[in-house]
Structure 1
Amino acid sequence: MTRRTLALVALLVIALAALVPTVNTYVAQRQKLSELQSQVSQQEQQVESLREQVARWDDPTYVAARARERLLFAMPGETQYRLTDTSGSDVPLTEAEQAAEAAKEGEWFSVLWESVEGSSRLTPEDIPDETGSTDDDVSEQNPADDTTDQDTDQ
C-alpha cells in the first residue's frame, strides 16, 4: 500500500466515523417524527368524534332518548314495564349485555383454575388445627395468669 492509499483509507474511516452517528440520529428522529404525526392524527380523530358526541347532546330528542334508556324515564302518560325471569333478577335489556355477563363469568375451566390458584395461597394460619379451632378461637391469655387472679381474690 502506498501512502496515498493509506491516507485515503484513513480519511474515509474518519468521515464514516463522523457521519454514521449523525445519519443514525437523523433516521431515529425521522421515525419519531412519523410516530408523533400518526399520534396527532389519531388524537385529531378522537377530538372530532368527541365534538360529534357533544353536538348530539345539543339535540333534545337525543337527550330524551338517552334519559329514557339510562335512567328509565318515561314520557307523561306512558307506563313502563320491567320484565324479570323466574329467579326474580332483572332481565338484561340487550343481547350485548347478556354477552357481557357471560364473558364476565368466564369459561368453566378458568373458574376452576382460579379456584386451584386460590387454594394454593393458603397459609398455615388459615388451616384449622386438629381440634377444629383456629388461632382466633384460642385466647391470647396464658393459663398460668389465671392463678394470679385467684390469689388476689383471697
Structure 2
Amino acid sequence: MALVALVVIALAALVPTVNSYVAQRQQLSELQTQVGNQEKDVETLREQVARWEDPAYVATRARERLLFAMPGETQYRLTDTSGHDVPQTEAEQAAEQAQEGEWFSTLWKSVEGSSRLTPEDIPDETGSTDDDVSDEDPADDSTDQDADQ
C-alpha cells in the first residue's frame, strides 16, 4: 500500500513538470517556424532591395508603373470604350481581375477604412482646416454682447 501511495505522489509531482516541458517544446517549435518564415521574408526583401539598386530595373518599373518614357520615345496606350487601359496579355488580364476582387470585399475595405478616421481627418462644413479656425468659442460672443447692453 505504501508503494502505491509513493507512486501516486511521484506521478502527481511529475505530471505538471512534464506538461510544462511539452508545452514549452511546442512553443519553441512554433517560434522556430516563425523565425524561419521571417528569415525567408527578410531574404526576399533583401533581393527586392538589390533589384532596386539596378538602374535598368528602376527604369523598367518607372515605365510600367508611372508611364515614363525616354527622350525621343513615343508611347501608345490602348483603351477600351470606357477609357480604361486594355491589358496586353492574358496574364495581365488575370492579374487585373484578381486585383479588383468582389464588390463586397471592396465595400468592406471602405467601411474598415472609414472606421479608422479621427475627428481631425474630417473637414468642417466650410472646408477650412483647423489652422483657419480661431481658438475662441462662438458661444463666448454672447457674453460680450450682454456686457455691451
User: Shared topology, TM-score over 0.5?
Assistant: yes
Structure-2 residue corresponding to 1:149: none
Listed as ranges, the gaps of 5+ residues in structure 1 are 1-5, 111-154
Report the TM-score, using the length of structure 1 for normalisation: 0.60
Structure-2 residue corresponding to 1:59: 54
Say whether residues 1:79 and 2:74 are aligned partners: yes
> Quick one: structure 1 residues 39 and 105, their matched pair in 2 at CA, closer, same or farther if it must change by over 3 Å?
closer
Q: CA deviation at 1:85?
A: 1.7
CA RMSD in angstroms comes to 2.2
Structure-1 residue corresponding to 2:18: 23
Bigger radius of gyration among the two = 1
Over residues 90-119 of structure 1, what are the superposed CA-to-partner deviations in whole Å (9 max), with x where a residue is unaligned? 223543443355454659xx9xxxxxxxxx
% same residue: 80
Structure-2 residue corresponding to 1:14: 9
Structure-1 residue corresponding to 2:85: 90
Over residues 41-68 of structure 1, what are the superposed CA-to-partner deviations in whole Å (9 max), with x where a residue is unaligned? 1101111110111111111000000000
How many residues end up aligned between the 2 structures?
103
Over residues 3-59 of structure 1, what are the superposed CA-to-partner deviations in whole Å (9 max), with x where a residue is unaligned? xxx000000000000000100100010010011001101101111110111111111
Q: Name the CA distance, whole Å, in 1 between partners of 2:18 and 2:101.
A: 54
Report the TM-score, using the length of structure 2 for normalisation: 0.62
Range that drifts further, 64-73 or 77-86: 77-86
Listed as ranges, the gaps of 5+ residues in structure 2 are 105-149
Q: Name the CA distance, whole Å, in 2 between partners of 1:106 and 1:32.
A: 38
> Quick one: structure 1 residues 99 and 52, their matched pair in 2 at CA, closer, same or farther if it must change by over 3 Å?
same
